[in-house]
Amino acid sequence: MTSENPKATDFETKAQSEQKHLAEQAQASQPEEEQSASGSEPEKPAGGEEKGEPLVIEWREPDGFLWLSIRNFLLSVMTLGIYYFWGKTEVRRRIWRAIHVNGEPLEYTGTGWELFKGFLIVGIPLFVGFFLYGFFAAMVTGGQELLMDLMAIPLYLLVVWLVGLAIYRTWRYRLRRTRWRGIRGTLAGAPVTYANAYFITTLLMGLTLGWLMPWRARELHTIMTNDTRIGTSPLRLEPEPALRPLYKAFAPAWFMGVFFYGATILVFMTIADIESAKEGLPTSGLSLFPSTIPIPVLLLSLLPLLLLVIWMWLRYSTRVSNWFAAHTRLHNGHFRLDLKPKDLFFLRLGNFFIALLSLGILLPVVQKRMARFIVTRLSFEGTVDLSKLTQATDSLEHSGEGLGEFFDIDAF
């Protein structure tokens, strides 16, 4: 039987104790490190306990949209279009009531008179102003086409800026007329700030042939989200989220769009050469397809490319929507949207045929389908401190979406 060295035994005991202590520290710190790395876990207040409750977003199917569509159409025709604003208000009220959060429906408090008055206040001056500018340009240029085009450039630039202004004011009006448990929303920023950003990013996107589209979407969405208030509680977009996930979907769609554009030009050049040859006229000689191919076959050859382009852009569109939802936070949680390209494709295809075959009469049905599609795929992960949802204190405007109506900017 051998005797153990006491010093060696003490050393091993201390080493094991230190290893156990380090392991316990690593295990205790692991959840915090994972939360910091992911950036998507709900925020927790001091003390480690979350305050608030989860948000459950539901859609409860409203009835009567077929009859509502027909009634709105008939009354609009009978009133020479004036009832359109009241019809739109009723559609919104029913769609808002179909959206329930924690069992409580949203409430739309806007009126048809507000929309009508806003259109009169903004639409008539803009229409008169554009008409007078066109008349002035014709007088100055003597009707010369090139000079008229140059005179139209400032007007086009103004329209771009006004569209940005209209988007912001329209969204602010709808938030202020939306209530949940008596609490309404609002936008806390300045419409001019968003209009300036919209104008500048539109020009930059044009200069880069659309390549800056994801960056532009992030910049504009950041302004709109960070200005949004639910009562006095702000939404916020996570600061400068990386654009790489968006460009992964955008780049293939962009390059395929360029390829489809080039293929379309070649096909129509070939068709032009075929027609010129039939009439004994000289051809361009630039077409790459044999002139013996029938014209219908040439046109049908573009269909697979067109479907591929549509699919890629739908993939990018759903990626953008899902990405923005995941990065939009409220209190201790964030939203989640689960859109898929296939579902969006069939929804838009169905909506297109409903609107086309009904000659636009069933547009309220289309709007309800679109709202249901979004809401049933929207959820909230985390909790909201309902005690912080206090009433917004900014003043309400007395007219509706004048600019939005003039430029036909409409979500619902």
Asked if the model's pLDDT at residue 141 lies above 60, the reply is: yes
- 222 with 261, same domain: the answer is no
- 218 with 262, same domain: the answer is no
- Comparison of pLDDT for 241 and 105, the residue scoring more: 105
Indicate whether 124 belongs to any domain.
Answer: yes
Q: In terms of pTM, does the model score above 0.75?
A: yes
- 300 with 269, same domain: the answer is yes
- What integer pLDDT is reported at residue 275 of this predicted model? 79
- 222 with 267, same domain: the answer is no
Give residue 194's identity as a one-letter amino acid code: Y
Q: How far apart are CA 376 and CA 34, in angstroms?
A: 30
- The boundaries of the domain holding residue 268 are 242-307
- 235 with 146, same domain: the answer is yes
Q: What is the mean pLDDT of residues 92-119?
A: 94
Q: How far apart are CA 345 and CA 364, in angstroms?
A: 19
Q: What is the mean pLDDT of residues 20-26?
A: 46
- Residue 216: how many other CB atoms lie within 10 Å: 19
| pLDDT per position as a tens digit, 29-56 | 444 333 333 344 444 444 445 568 999 9
For the chain, the domain total comes to 2
Indicate whether 386 belongs to any domain.
Answer: no
pLDDT category of residue 26 using cuts at 50, 70 and 90: very low
Which range of 121-135, 296-310, 355-369 scores highest in mean pLDDT? It is 355-369
What does the block give as tokens for 20?
């156990």
- 225 with 123, same domain: the answer is yes
Indicate whether 76 belongs to any domain.
Answer: no
- 131 with 190, same domain: the answer is yes
- 115 with 235, same domain: the answer is yes
90, with CB counted inside 10 A (0-12, 13-18, 19+), is middle
The string of DSSP letters for 283-335 reads: P-S---S-TTS-HHHHHHTTHHHHHHHHHHHHHHHHHHHHHHHHTEEETTEEE
Indicate whether 201 belongs to any domain.
Answer: yes
Last residue of a domain, one of 261, 290, 307: 307
- What integer pLDDT is reported at residue 37 of this predicted model? 36
- 144 with 187, same domain: the answer is yes
Indicate whether 180 belongs to any domain.
Answer: yes
* Phi, psi for 180 (deg, rounded to 5): -135, 120
Q: How far apart are CA 176 and CA 399, in angstroms?
A: 12
- What integer pLDDT is reported at residue 296 of this predicted model? 86
Find the DSSP H helices in 6-144: 6-38, 65-78, 84-98, 112-141
- Helix, strand, coil tally for the chain in percent (to 5): 65, 10, 30
pLDDT category of residue 25 using cuts at 50, 70 and 90: very low
Q: What is the mean pLDDT of residues 292-314?
A: 89
Q: How far apart are CA 324 and CA 135, in angstroms?
A: 44
Last residue of a domain, one of 290, 307, 324: 307
Indicate whether 378 belongs to any domain.
Answer: no
Last residue of a domain, one of 307, 329, 346: 307
Asked if the model's pLDDT at residue 271 lies above 90, the reply is: no
- 131 with 235, same domain: the answer is yes
Residue 231: DSSP 8-state: T
- 224 with 184, same domain: the answer is yes
Indicate whether 273 belongs to any domain.
Answer: yes
- 196 with 288, same domain: the answer is no
- What integer pLDDT is reported at residue 297 of this predicted model? 84
Lowest mean pLDDT among 44-53, 102-111, 200-209, 238-247: 44-53
Asked if the model's pLDDT at residue 221 lies above 90, the reply is: yes
Indicate whether 97 belongs to any domain.
Answer: no
